[in-house]
Amino acid sequence: MLAANDNLRATLLSGIKDGLVGQNRLKEPATWPKVYAELAKHPSNEVRSSARQIAVTFGNASALDQLRATLLNPKAPVPERARVLANLAQIHDKESLPAILALAKAGTMRGPAVVALGQYDDPRIAPLLIQFIVDEDKGVRSLALNTLAGRAESSRALLAAIDAGKFKKDVLSAPLASKIRGFNDAKMNAWLEKNWGTVNASSEAKTKAIANYKKFLGTNAILSADVKRGRELFRGSCGLCHQLFGTGGEIGPHLTGGYTDLEYLLQNIMDPNAVIGKDYQLVYITLKDGSLQAGIISAENESTLTLKVPGAPAPVVIAKDQIKTRVVSPNSLMPEGLLNGLEEPDVRSLFLYLRQTSEPK
């Protein structure tokens, strides 16, 4: 029974809502329609919002109509529209897809819309996201890449666009390449092997590669590199998982900077699988809708698990009843081949940035 006290009622509803995250189309309790009709008229916006999200989990038509209206309302606060968008995408609401495609093209909702498109399997999505990459739209480029790599068909479209010369292969970060390998598709793996680099190379090959990098990474050569370019490269690769100088992802360990030991850096970058902490094992989750997520599990209960995913703006909550396969990779979340595809000047710039002890101006 819902508490009469408004504060307690809001807390209870919020707890129920959070407990249902990642789940959808659950069987509606017999008493819920009557309860929801009362809560929908409650003066507290927090109560109404939580009740509406719970109702959507049960597939309530009235609640769905309200969410769709909020999504289309340009005067609604952006955070509220973003929450609504995530809610509708989570249940794969087909009626909302045209609006989401439109929102992805322009305006303050672009980022959330690009992320939400990952919940849909539709032929219009990949060409749109590929065009964002062609246009070098920095606002949504990384989000578009991550969304494309979330499904096998759109991953194929991404690799085909690179082959067609629409953009360079260096748009593929190490985490993205690792994610695409999670589909275990022979043709895509062969493409990555040819164009991006070898996974699980032999110790002899790694030793040879390290020796080669040392030839052009001497101290004098590094100090003449472009530190700002190094920062840009870091944020597009290492920074998806690691923080340095307070900026970056919250997935891998925080980095301290001041890395002057070239041998140490090269060994860790070239052979990240030498020692893998349990907390950083890569897990591939394939869902029943055909999408794939790759990351590390940060939380799990009886009904859901939460993944920290490189490049994603927030942790991804997945309902266990929607999981088709769950595979723990023998490899680290940090994939081999991080330096593959980088020209010598860019490698120098990246290593110069890693030598810094504070954020360069």
What pLDDT, in 10s, does the model give residues 146-158? Answer: 999 999 999 999 9
125 vs 357: CA distance, rounded Å: 42
User: What one-character DSSP code corresponds to residue 339?
Assistant: T
Nearest-angstrom CA–CA distance, 117 and 45: 28
Q: What is the pLDDT of residue 202?
A: 60
* Spatial CB neighbours of 299, under 8 Å, sequence gap ≥ 6: 305, 306, 315
Of 89, 111, 133, the last residue of a domain is 111
Answer yes or no: do 210 and 106 share one domain: no
Q: Considering only residues 305 and 48, tell me which one the structure prediction assigns the higher pLDDT.
A: 305
311 vs 211: CA distance, rounded Å? 31
Would strands 316-319 and 247-248 be described as parallel, antiparallel, or unpaired?
A: unpaired
Q: Is 156 helix (H, G, I), strand (E, B) or coil?
A: helix
Rounded Cα distance between 320 and 317, Å, is 9
pLDDT of residue 4: 54
The answer on pLDDT for 39 being more than 60 is yes
Do 98 and 238 share a domain, yes or no?
A: no
The pLDDT tens digits for 198-220 are: 655 567 778 888 888 888 887 67
Question: In the prediction, which pLDDT does 126 show?
Answer: 98
DSSP β-bridge partners for residue 151: 291
Residues 21 and 304 sit within 8 Å (Cβ to Cβ): yes
Q: Which range has the worst mean pLDDT, 188-202, 209-223, 292-306?
A: 188-202
pLDDT higher than 80, residue 248: yes
Do 207 and 106 share a structural domain? no
Q: Are 127 and 144 in contact (CB under 8 A)?
A: no
Q: Are residues 210 and 351 in the same domain?
A: yes
User: Residues 149, 185: contact at Cβ < 8 Å?
Assistant: no
Alpha carbon distance 102, 83 (integer Å): 17
pLDDT: is 272 or 84 the higher one? 84
Phi-psi label, residue 307: left if phi above 0, alpha if psi -120 to 50, beta otherwise: beta
Mean pLDDT throughout 163-170?
Answer: 90
289 domain-assigned:
no
Helix (H, G, I), strand (E, B) or coil at 37: helix
DSSP string, 105-150: TSSTTHHHHHHHGGG---TTHHHHHHHHHHTT-TTTHHHHHHHHTT
Phi–psi pair at 293, nearest 5 degrees: -125, 145
Of 80, 111, 142, at which residue does a domain stop? 111
Which range among 27-36, 100-109, 136-145, 177-186 has the greatest average pLDDT?
100-109
Q: How far apart are CA 84 and CA 330, in angstroms?
A: 37
The CA-atom distances, in angstroms, between 164 and each of 24, 73, 150, 185, 305 are 39, 39, 21, 20, 38
Q: What's the structural domain count of the chain?
A: 2
What CA dihedral angle connects 44, 48, 51 and 55, to 10 degrees?
170
**286, part of any domain:** no
Kindly indicate the confidence band of residue 9, based on its pLDDT and cuts at 50, 70 and 90. confident
Can you list the positions of beta strands (E) in the chain?
Answer: 243-244, 247-248, 281-287, 292-300, 304-308, 316-319, 323-332
What does R_g of the chain's alpha carbons equal in angstroms? 23
Q: Could you give the percent of the chain with pLDDT greater than 90? A: 35
Residue span of the structural domain in which 218 resides: 203-272+336-355
Residue count of the chain, please give it. 361
| Confidence at residue 130, expressed as pLDDT on a 0 to 100 scale | 97
Domain boundary (111, 129, 154) is at 111
Q: Tell me what the pLDDT averaged over the chain comes to.
A: 85
Confidence at residue 1, expressed as pLDDT on a 0 to 100 scale: 42
The verdict on residue 146 lying in a domain is no
Rounded average pLDDT over 330-336: 76
Does residue 136 form part of some domain?
A: no
**Domain shared by 95 and 214, yes or no:** no
The pLDDT of residue 219 is 67
pLDDT band at 226 (very low <50, low <70, confident <90, very high): very high
Mean pLDDT of 111-134: 95
Of the candidate ranges 22-26, 62-66, 113-117, the one whose mean pLDDT is the lowest: 22-26
Q: What is the pLDDT of residue 276?
A: 64
